């Protein structure tokens, strides 16, 4: 085959040498616009795993890189006067110029033709090529030429960064955070040869502008950074090799993601994108070079598997995109998470978190490194952090004792202490008769109270018959219901050390519907009752009943119903009360601009839309015992353009905090059927994180939290104070006890009658770990 690689970066060079090695008969040319040995940037970094992968495909290249690279295991943080170091992370650093030199030399040794100082504006110039690899970087001309087919998505991010070097040598991947009068700067630093370290300085755009760096020359920018980090540089200078760039050399990162990775051009040749031309990964996790090299391996692998002839190219490229796009997207998502952490850390974490927790948050920023993964990397550091975390909350741990994982530390609010951070989420059971919970609820909630969670929440309990979601939903509006709940509360308090919570709400426009297994959100086939909302609306267009708008007089009646329910909950000894202001139910319908079009003082601005929910909350708080906690569940976003946003959620949380709320339970959506949520592991935790840091109120994280590792990571990083676990508790009432055994935490107290099961479960997990398997 005749192959032309446009762009002489790591992707193009490595693919060229791998294909030449696969079949020396291939005619391969790499065309680079720069002169030999010219390059922008200082060092690049990738993981030990990437090196292992390269060794399998071309040992001489891997050997040459290994002789030139700098390897380190440690990450070090310099923050608020403290130095914190964690090991076991496994990075490889090498000068970008040195890496390219090694790849160029290997290409020449194998017979690849290298052409320098030649611009390529159009792939049509290579009419006789069978395959054209566009590895021409983030500003790829070839991608732009065929953008209608490649369909690229380019997102420019807000932070500014400048890529510098220094002769000061660092023996760890080092992060330095410095605060100025205008905000925070951070430096990402790593050694890449025996004389030089990469020194990337980053800050938010407003901070950058406030310091006048938008008007600064490169020389002035370098001088500013030298002064800012002078005590860390210890007399060494900062250097730039970006003189070819106009202005100050401060850049914005651009995330590139293409819908299609290959096309056929006008000559019939196949054109495939590779490296930064097809996808970029932020330097926060150092995966750009990794992606480029593994793209080259991935495409070569498909040619080796399917045949390296022109007849196979189309199938090879199809399979290449199918296989590589999944891995590339995974890394891009991790890099996106890490990038966003650095973009908001000055506003969200630097001032709020103490250095040990800041370090933990930074290490887990990409969500690829979990709590137990940190234990594998550096047990001593993690257990030291666990000991600090427990001690911060007043739990003394002897030096020789294993500290409790963060999820098993107690949590105190007002006069109530939860034994751990796990909450059985409120989950509708549709099993009441006339709003009265019966034996089913006693068994359901009682079993989960015995299962180890710190707080067991009953499902949304409604303040009136008309406020029920379905005829099977519970209420707390008459004496029979109150007595039934009293029975449950008493049983939980007598037989377990769990706390019992109730969530009080009114279904509003989503009331009078069928039991879930008969059709979620569908109106009753008969026996419907009138439904109300902030404004006239129909939840399921053309299907649902149409809710009418409440009058102000009716709102006051409903407010009193909430107050009566709160008083009843207090009377029966409920430990924790939550007001439901989420998911499109009545109070949520007042908050969201999608469902509140009122023209009185209860509509319009967010302040006005919050007026009625806040009135309800304050009235309930007034009758709720001051020594008991009260939380609010909100939809942190409607997932609909024009609806409630995460920024709105921070304002909502602040308003409820001012009204006396102790915690915000951070859910999202279910307000409009036009919603487009983005699901995934721990997918709603970022809302809890943002609200906790920016509104300064405790939060509960919810949504696809399904294992101890998730809970520990969330709690340890300070992303939330509690974690509500729903579906796993439906499958296993003793989920918390099971997860404690799974991670080897034996200090968990079990109900006495269940004690024999504790040791058997722990022994089973111990055998699985000893055998090298993952406990299940």
Both tokens of 755, joined, read 């004690």
Task: Give every CB contact of residue 56 below 8 A, 6+ residues apart in sequence.
Answer: none
Q: 307: phi > 0 → left, psi -120 to 50 → alpha, else beta; which? A: left
Question: Is the sign of the CA dihedral 133, 139, 141, 145 positive or negative?
Answer: positive
The answer to whether the beta carbons of residues 104 and 114 sit under 8 Å apart is yes
Report the greatest alpha carbon distance in the chain: 89
- The count of other CB atoms within 10 Å of the CB of residue 424 is 30
For CA atoms 489, 491, 494, 500, give the dihedral sign. negative
Q: Give the number of C-alpha atoms closer than 13 A to the C-alpha of residue 624, restricted to the C-beta side.
A: 30
Place of tokens 């890449």: 192
CA distances in angstroms from 31 to 5, 9, 135, 297, listed in the order given: 6, 10, 10, 20
Question: What phi and psi values does residue 472 have, to the nearest 5 degrees?
Answer: -95, 5
The residues annotated as belonging to the active site are: 585
Give the separation between CA 228 and CA 180, rounded to whole angstroms.
8
Element (H, E) at 116: none
Residue 708, number of CB atoms within 10 A of its CB = 25
Residue 482 CB contacts under 8 Å (≥ 6 apart), including other chains:
476, 568, 571, 572
How far is the CA of 588 from the CAs of 609, 643, 670, in angstroms? 9, 12, 10
Q: Give the Cα separation of 386 and 375 in Å (integer).
A: 11
237 close to 167: Cβ distance less than 8 angstroms: yes
Q: What angle do CA 329, 333, 337 make, to 5 degrees?
A: 170
Distance CA 585, CA 534 (A): 10
Q: Name the 3-class secondary structure at 50.
A: helix
Residue 717: closest CA among 369, 339, 455: 369
């Amino acid at each position: 085959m005749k192959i032309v690689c446009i762009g002489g970066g790591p992707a193009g060079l490595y693919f060229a040498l791998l294909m030449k090695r696969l079949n020396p008969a291939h005619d391969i040319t790499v065309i680079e616009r720069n002169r030999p040995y010219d390059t922008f940037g200082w060092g690049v970094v990738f993981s030990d795993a990437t090196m292992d992968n390269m060794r399998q495909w071309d040992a001489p290249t891997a050997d040459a890189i290994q002789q030139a690279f700098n390897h380190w295991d440690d990450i070090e943080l310099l923050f608020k006067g403290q130095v914190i170091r964690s090991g076991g992370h496994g990075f490889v650093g090498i000068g970008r110029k040195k890496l390219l030199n090694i790849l160029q030399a290997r290409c020449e040794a194998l017979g690849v033709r290298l052409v320098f100082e030649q611009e390529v504006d159009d792939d049509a110039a290579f009419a006789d090529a069978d395959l054209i690899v566009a590895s021409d970087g983030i500003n790829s001309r070839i991608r732009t030429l065929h953008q209608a087919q490649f369909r690229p998505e380019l997102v420019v991010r807000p932070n500014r960064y400048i890529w510098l070097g220094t002769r000061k040598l660092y023996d760890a991947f080092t992060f330095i955070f410095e605060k100025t009068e205008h905000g925070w700067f951070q430096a990402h630093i790593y050694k890449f040869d025996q004389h030089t370290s990469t020194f990337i300085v980053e800050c938010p755009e407003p901070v950058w502008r406030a310091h006048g760096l938008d008007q600064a020359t490169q020389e002035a920018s370098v001088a500013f950074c030298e002064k800012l980090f002078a005590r860390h540089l210890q007399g060494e200078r900062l250097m730039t090799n970006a003189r070819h760039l106009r202005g100050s050399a401060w850049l914005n990162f651009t995330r590139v993601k293409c819908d299609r990775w290959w096309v056929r051009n006008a000559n019939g040749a196949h054109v495939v994108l590779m490296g930064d031309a097809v996808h970029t990964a932020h330097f926060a996790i150092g995966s750009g070079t990794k992606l480029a090299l593994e793209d080259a391996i991935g495409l070569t692998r498909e040619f080796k598997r399917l045949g390296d002839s022109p007849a196979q190219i189309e199938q090879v490229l199809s399979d290449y995109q199918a296989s590589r796009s999944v891995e590339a997207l995974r890394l891009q998502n991790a890099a996106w998470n890490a990038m966003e952490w650095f973009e908001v850390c000055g506003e969200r974490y630097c001032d709020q978190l103490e250095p040990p927790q800041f370090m933990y948050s930074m290490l887990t920023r990409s969500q690829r490194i979990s709590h137990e993964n940190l234990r594998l990397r550096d047990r001593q550091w993690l257990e030291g952090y666990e000991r600090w975390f427990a001690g911060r909350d007043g739990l003394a741990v002897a030096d020789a004792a294993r500290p409790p994982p963060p999820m098993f530390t107690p949590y105190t609010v007002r006069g109530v202490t939860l034994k751990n951070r796990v909450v059985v989420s409120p989950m509708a059971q549709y099993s009441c008769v006339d709003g009265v919970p019966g034996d089913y609820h006693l068994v359901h909630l009682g079993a989960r109270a015995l299962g180890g969670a710190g707080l067991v929440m009953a499902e949304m309990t409604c303040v009136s018959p008309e406020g029920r979601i379905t005829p099977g939903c519970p209420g707390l509006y008459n004496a029979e219901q109150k007595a039934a709940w009293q029975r449950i509360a008493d049983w939980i308090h007598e037989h377990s050390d769990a706390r019992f919570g109730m969530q009080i709400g009114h279904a509003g426009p989503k009331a009078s519907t069928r039991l879930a297994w008969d059709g979620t959100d569908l109106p009753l086939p008969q026996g419907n009752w009138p439904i109300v909302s902030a404004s006239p609306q129909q939840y399921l267009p053309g299907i649902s009943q149409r809710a009418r708008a409440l009058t102000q007089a009716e709102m006051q009646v409903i407010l009193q119903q909430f107050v009566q329910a709160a008083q009843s909950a207090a009377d029966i000894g409920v430990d924790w009360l939550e007001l439901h202001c989420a998911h499109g139910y009545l109070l949520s319908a007042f908050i969201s601009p999608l469902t509140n079009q009122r023209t009185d003082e209860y509509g319009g601005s967010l302040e006005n839309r919050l007026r009625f929910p806040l009135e309800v909350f304050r009235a309930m708080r007034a009758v709720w015992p001051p020594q008991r906690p009260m939380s609010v569940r909100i939809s942190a976003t409607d997932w609909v353009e024009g609806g409630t946003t995460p920024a709105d959620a921070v304002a909502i949380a602040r308003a409820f905090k001012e009204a006396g709320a102790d915690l915000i339970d951070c859910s999202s959506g279910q307000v409009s059927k036009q919603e487009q949520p983005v699901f995934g592991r721990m997918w709603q935790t970022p809302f809890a994180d943002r609200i906790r840091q920016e509104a300064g109120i405790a939060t509960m994280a919810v949504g696809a939290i399904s294992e101890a590792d998730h809970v520990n990571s969330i709690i340890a990083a300070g992303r939330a104070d509690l974690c509500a676990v729903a579906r796993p508790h439906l499958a296993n009432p003793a989920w918390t006890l099971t997860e404690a055994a799974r991670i080897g935490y034996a200090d968990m107290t079990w109900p006495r009658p269940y004690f024999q099961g504790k040791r058997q479960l722990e022994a089973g997990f111990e055998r699985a770990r000893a055998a090298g398997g993952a406990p299940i």
